[in-house]
Amino acid sequence: MYKTWTLYKREMGEYFNSPIAYIVIVLFLALAGTWGLSKIFNVEPARADMRPLFELMPMFLVVIAPALSMRLLAEEKSTGTMELLVTMPVADWQVIFTKFFAAFSVLFLMVVFTLPFAFTIAKMGDLDWGVTLGSYAGLLLMGACYISIGLMTSSWFKSQVVAFIVAGTICLVFWGLGNEEFTKLLPQTAAAVTQQVFGLDYHFKNFAKGIIDLRDIIYYSSITTCCLVLAGQSVQSRKWR
Amino acid sequence: MANESTRFKIGVNSILFTVLLVVSLALINVFGAYARCQLDVTEDELYTLSSASTKIVKESKSEIKVRVFVSRKLVTGLDEVRQYLIDTLDRYKEASRGKFKWELIHPEDSKAKEKLAKEYGIRKTTYQTKQTGSKEARELYFGLAITYKAPGADKEEMEIIPNLGWNIQKNLEYLLTERFYRLVRGRKKVAIITGHNVVPPKAMDQLIKMLGQFFKAYEIVQYNIRGSKPPPADTQVMIVLSPKTPWNEADRKKLNSFVMKGKGVLFMVEGMALQKQNKQMQMRKMPPIMMPHNHGLNDLLWTWGVKIAGNFVMDLGQKPLLIRQGKKSRIIFHPALLNIRYSRRLKAPVTPFLASSLDVKAEFVSKKLKPGQRFRVTPILLSSPKSWTVKGPYMFNPQRRDQPPEGATRARYVVAAMVEGKLPSAVKGTKPTESKANARLVVVGDFDLLKLSGAVPGNRIFLQNMVDWLAQDEVLVKLRNKQMQERELDLPSSKTKRYLIQLANIFGLPILLVLFGIIWWQLRLARRRSAQREIGERR
């Protein structure tokens, strides 16, 4: 446990001792605040509802989560510290999970920092906290998926940029397949199946309404587990390739 | 060679493990899709059946049957609405213990099914997708028929919703449960008391027509209190509207005996009334004068802890009111128009106009019945602390924005109150001396609230909630509130203030974060420098 904690601290230090975390968080807050709040404040009649913000945040995560996770393993590979890391007395899965939780912690902080928006709205109206917290839960689960996808692609490449582009593309495809705008070209049944199987955004809809559905939790957990295992296998592949 | 084989084994193991994991995760998702385990975290439990819905389907004496007529091919997005409908009907079925059944019918499948849809009056309607940029439209069936045959009844009663529309996710439960109530329980009678020239007969007919549309679960009748007949025996609620002539002893006696039966009465009576203008005043186009008005109800009401004052409340602490008339809407503001944002007890944004304040006997005011207390009075509508009262004679000019006169008492005034409990008889020497069961009264110092209810949705909801509460159907109040609560944002009227709030939210935390980053960076630099210095000194 101590080793994992040390690794976790090291990863968090990587984020907060460099400008990465600050840039990403500030960018996210400024974008979400500018677009989301203007959609809440500048409409008539204005509603005490965070939904406009939660419609935008998953879109931002498509870019921000890969940006947070692109360096996790790719940097270790390119600087040659990967060998050092895997020869340390920690299991590969511990390395993967620690890196995942570090990136997820930054994402968690980033999402939590949008809570003042909710407090402002609650001060000026009767905000449904159940729906709001449900949406936050959904957003974090979705964010975990995107981070795990980023970690998986980061394990495939030495270049952070390539890892970012590939992860961003995968996230965008997963997000798009859950969106009706993109699946409307498909036949109705095919569109419905595609949305349910691949649509990360589709499974967020229930959370945004205030329904926590076991099916959605299973879906997000499956995608996250799957990507983390693939990342682990990719790291482990040095033993047999 | 041994190394090669070990590597091969590890490789195969890794690939097999990955494949097995992916397959098992896929299977968990497939089987998980059948398990409906949901947690509704909305404050009003919008996606859980309310007690009103569960109660009516569970306690129904015969089977409630719902036939949903829906086309197989829908426009994009509507399948989600259909799924919501199916899920909701399943919830009713689960709650009913076999007394609720429903079936899905695709009318296009056969001529017999199409004929059945026609028999119920369900026809194809054009639906257009809500997707932005798409013009996909289709004629399709999307309606339902509810049938119920009461035990011993000759024929089936039915309720039809020919076109469910896109917005059922907002009010489906209310749409269905209210109809189930009508079918299963029958319509309760609500009598509007006439006989005191409340409004001209034609206007009264229109009022009853309007109320009939608001209260579909009730039968609205007129009852002339000055006549010799007693009120219909099955009347549950009486509505007393501002009388032009004062009530006499005989009228009060009739109403008192109705209350003593433990039933409900809604008083919408003003303490001030517009005086008739003489010709000279009309010629000069003078604004109407308001004078305290003797309605003859205060003796009766004071026994039950409430009295209507001979004044009306002016309030500068309210927001302007948006009135919608058809497609047009306009914003109006006048201190006599009390745009009360929220009634805590009967959740609704209410707008009384020229409303009188109520005097309430403090000894009866409580949230819950105190030990030994027979009834309680609960204020339900209050003006803002920036209110004052105006007594007659008062020249009412809607164009003038009145200001409180010097020395006026600025306070929150009670405009409506509810009374509940074993009420004492208000007529001396009559029996019983106390109501048999818990009687319910609502006293509102305003009649315009009802007249405005066509244009102000909040008033309509408030009115419906009052009548439901009086008819002891508060489960419907809960259900209606659940569906219709609009969570408005009370933004500051000044644009600058609004922008400042927005800017503080957008940049406040990022600036703090950047400052934290700079401090952290400087601390690290200082630490590094001191470490370097230490190393240098050691060397």
Q: Where exactly are the structural domains of chain A?
A: 2-235
Is A121 an interface residue toward B (CB < 8 Å)? yes
Q: Say if residue B524's pLDDT is above 80.
A: yes
Half-sphere exposure of B251 (CA within 13 A, CB side): 21
CA distance A222 to chain B (A): 6
Residue where a domain terminates, one of B127, B153, B183: B183
Chain-chain contact of B32 with A181 (C-beta, under 8 angstroms) = no
How is A183-216 classified by DSSP, letter by letter? HTTS-HHHHHHHHHHH-TTTTHHHHHHTEEEHHH
Q: Angle of helix A160-177 relative to helix A188-198, nearest 10 degrees?
A: 130
Highest mean pLDDT among A63-67, B280-284, B315-319, B479-483: A63-67
> Residue B444 has what pLDDT?
92
Chain-chain contact of A133 with B501 (C-beta, under 8 angstroms) = no
Interface test with B, best of A40, A124, A145, A235 (most B CBs within 10 A): A124
How is B173-185 classified by DSSP, letter by letter? HHHHHHHHHHHHH
Could you tell me if B138 and B214 lie in one domain? no
Could you tell me if B328 and B385 lie in one domain? yes
Percent of chain A whose predicted confidence (pLDDT) is above 90: 38
| Residues of chain B contacting residue A194, judged by C-beta atoms under 8 Å apart | none
The 3-state DSSP class for residue B420 equals strand
The answer to whether residue B213 is domain-embedded is: yes
Is A35 an interface residue toward B (CB < 8 Å)? no
Please state the rounded mean pLDDT for residues A86-113.
Answer: 89
Q: To 5 degrees, how large is the angle CA A104–CA A105–CA A106? A: 90
The answer to whether residue B14 is domain-embedded is: no
B245 by Cβ neighbours in 10 Å (0-12 / 13-18 / 19+) ranks as middle
Interface test with B, best of A28, A111, A214, A237 (most B CBs within 10 A): A214
> Residue A44 has what pLDDT?
67
Percent of chain B whose predicted confidence (pLDDT) is above 70: 94
What is the overall mean pLDDT for chain B? 85
**Among candidates A134, A133, A136, A129, which has minimal Cα distance to A111?**
A136
Is A18 an interface residue toward B (CB < 8 Å)? no
Which has the higher per-residue pLDDT, B27 or A44?
A: B27
Name, in order, each residue with C-beta under 8 angstroms of A74's C-beta and a sequence gap of 6 or more.
Answer: A154, A155, A157, A158, A159, A160, A162, A163
Candidate from A22, A180, A192 with C-beta closest to B131: A180
With a threshold of 0.90, tell me whether the complex ipTM lies above it.
Answer: no
> Residue B346 has what pLDDT?
60
Could you tell me if B293 and B324 lie in one domain? yes
| Residues of chain B contacting residue A49, judged by C-beta atoms under 8 Å apart | 487, 489
**Among candidates B385, B487, B396, B387, which has minimal Cα distance to B448?**
B396
Under the banding of pLDDT at 50, 70 and 90, the label for residue A18 is: confident
Residue where a domain terminates, one of B140, B164, B183: B183
> Residue B326 has what pLDDT?
67
Could you tell me if B211 and B349 lie in one domain? yes
> Residue A6 has what pLDDT?
87
CA distance A202 to chain B (A): 11
Could you tell me if B223 and B150 lie in one domain? no
| Residues of chain A contacting residue B510, judged by C-beta atoms under 8 Å apart | 25-26, 29-30
Could you tell me if B228 and B374 lie in one domain? yes
Candidate from A47, A184, A214 with C-beta closest to B37: A214
Q: Give residue-wise pLDDT tens across range B218-251.
A: 889 889 988 888 888 889 999 999 888 899 999 9
Q: Say if residue B279's pLDDT is above 70.
A: yes
Q: Structurally, how many domains does chain B consist of?
A: 2
Please state the rounded mean pLDDT for residues A9-30.
Answer: 88
Lowest mean pLDDT among B49-53, B267-271, B340-344: B340-344
| Residues of chain B contacting residue A48, judged by C-beta atoms under 8 Å apart | 487-489
Chain-chain contact of A209 with B29 (C-beta, under 8 angstroms) = no
Show which of residues 52-111 on chain A sit within 8 Å of chain B, judged by CB atoms. Answer: none
Q: Say if residue A22's pLDDT is above 70.
A: yes
Is A222 an interface residue toward B (CB < 8 Å)? yes
Token pair 């870019």 is found at: A63
| Residues of chain A contacting residue B514, judged by C-beta atoms under 8 Å apart | 22, 26
Q: Give residue-wise pLDDT tens across range B373-416.
A: 889 998 888 888 888 998 878 887 777 777 888 888 888 899 99
Could you tell me if B279 and B422 lie in one domain? yes
What is the overall mean pLDDT for chain A? 87
| Residues of chain B contacting residue A115, judged by C-beta atoms under 8 Å apart | none
CA nearest to B26 within chain A: A222
| Residues of chain B contacting residue A213, judged by C-beta atoms under 8 Å apart | 37-39
CA distance A8 to chain B (A): 19
Is A51 an interface residue toward B (CB < 8 Å)? no
> Residue B341 has what pLDDT?
62
> Residue B512 has what pLDDT?
92
The answer to whether residue B58 is domain-embedded is: yes
CA nearest to B22 within chain A: A226
Q: Say if residue B342's pLDDT is above 70.
A: no
Name, in order, each residue with C-beta under 8 angstroms of B504's C-beta and a sequence gap of 6 or more.
Answer: none
Under the banding of pLDDT at 50, 70 and 90, the label for residue B345 is: low
Ramachandran bin of A191, using left for φ above 0, alpha for ψ from -120 to 50, beta for the remaining angles: alpha
The answer to whether residue B311 is domain-embedded is: yes
Percent of chain A whose predicted confidence (pLDDT) is above 70: 97
Q: Say if residue B452's pLDDT is above 90.
A: no
Interface test with B, best of A215, A238, A239 (most B CBs within 10 A): A215
The answer to whether residue B535 is domain-embedded is: no
Q: Say if residue A175's pLDDT is above 80.
A: yes
Please state the rounded mean pLDDT for residues A155-184.
Answer: 87
Rg (alpha carbons) of chain B, rounded to whole number: 32
Could you tell me if B202 and B158 lie in one domain? no
Residue B115: domain span: 51-183
> Residue B1 has what pLDDT?
47
CA nearest to A48 within chain B: B489
Beta strands in B114-261, from DSSP E residues, in sequence order: 125-128, 137-140, 142-148, 157-161, 188-194, 218-224, 235-241
Please state the rounded mean pLDDT for residues A60-78.
Answer: 89
Is A189 an interface residue toward B (CB < 8 Å)? no
> Residue B101 has what pLDDT?
92
CA pair distance B369, A103, nearest whole angstrom: 56
Which has the higher per-residue pLDDT, B3 or A18?
A: A18
> Residue B132 has what pLDDT?
67
Could you tell me if B113 and B246 lie in one domain? no
Chain-chain contact of B7 with A240 (C-beta, under 8 angstroms) = yes
The answer to whether residue B496 is domain-embedded is: no
| Residues of chain B contacting residue A40, judged by C-beta atoms under 8 Å apart | 489
Q: Give residue-wise pLDDT tens across range B14-41.
A: 888 888 988 888 888 888 777 778 888 8
Could you tell me if B232 and B218 lie in one domain? yes
Which has the higher per-residue pLDDT, B173 or B449?
A: B173
Q: Give residue-wise pLDDT tens across range B160-180.
A: 999 988 878 777 888 899 899
Is A180 an interface residue toward B (CB < 8 Å)? yes
Chain-chain contact of A47 with B486 (C-beta, under 8 angstroms) = yes
φ and ψ at B414, to 5 degrees?
-80, 130
| Residues of chain B contacting residue A117, judged by C-beta atoms under 8 Å apart | 505
CA pair distance B231, B223, nearest whole angstrom: 6
Could you tell me if B177 and B216 lie in one domain? no
> Residue B185 has what pLDDT?
83
Are B22 and B30 a contacting pair, CB within 8 Å? Answer: no
Are B72 and B108 a contacting pair, CB within 8 Å? Answer: yes
Please state the rounded mean pLDDT for residues A68-91.
Answer: 83
CA distance A188 to chain B (A): 8
CA pair distance A164, A67, nearest whole angstrom: 6
| Residues of chain A contacting residue B524, judged by C-beta atoms under 8 Å apart | 17
Could you tell me if B131 and B255 lie in one domain? no
Chain-chain contact of A222 with B28 (C-beta, under 8 angstroms) = yes
Read off the CATH number of the domain in which B105 is found.
3.40.30
Read off the CATH number of the domain in which B428 is found.
3.40.50
Interface test with B, best of A112, A222, A225, A239 (most B CBs within 10 A): A222
